[in-house]
Every structure is written in structure tokens, then in C-alpha cells.
Amino acid sequence: MPALNVEFSDRELEDLRQIAKERGTSMKALVREAAAADIARHRALQEGAEAFRRFFASHADEFAAAFPDDEPSARGEGRAA
């Protein structure tokens, strides 16, 4: 399996040791679990954003009617702040 060397400050390393000890796991497992959780979170956010974009695009006319002040002007200048 591919590996990755990660550098930590002395304080971070000590904190990782303490957390791993409290959880009854290895530091390697703790760091891998944290990275895997962040990857899963990132993927979920990407999927959620894509679902929102599809929903918004398929209901663009309804949003335009409900929020006319948020629509760009006819001259294409966009909404003024």
C-alpha cells in the first residue's frame, strides 16, 4: 500500500500520542481515520453542491420569479450591491 510521510510539530505529535492512547488505538490508525473522514466529508460536500446546482438549474425560472431583485439587469450588468 502506498504511504505518505507527514511531519508534525512536537506539540502536535504529543497531542496525537495522547489522543491515540485515550482511544486505545495507534497513532497511524488515528491519522489514517482522520484523513479518511476528511476525504469522505469532502466528497459529500462536492456531491451536495452538484445536487444543488442541478436543482437550481432545473428551477431557475421559479427562482427568478420568486426573487426578481436578485436577477441580473437586462443590460447584463448584474445586481448592484
* Ordered per-residue pLDDT tens for the chain, 81 residues: 888 999 999 999 999 999 999 999 999 999 999 999 999 999 999 999 999 999 999 999 999 999 999 998 765 555 555
DSSP 80: -
Q: Are 52 and 46 in contact (CB under 8 A)?
A: no
DSSP 24: T
Distances, alpha carbon 14 to alpha carbons 8, 60, 75, in Å: 9, 52, 60
What's the pLDDT at 77? 55
What's the pLDDT at 28? 95
What's the pLDDT at 72? 87
What distance, in Å, lies between the first and last C-alpha atoms of the chain?
Answer: 52
pTM for this entry:
0.68
In the three-class reduction of DSSP (H, G, I as helix; E, B as strand; rest coil), residue 74 is classed as coil
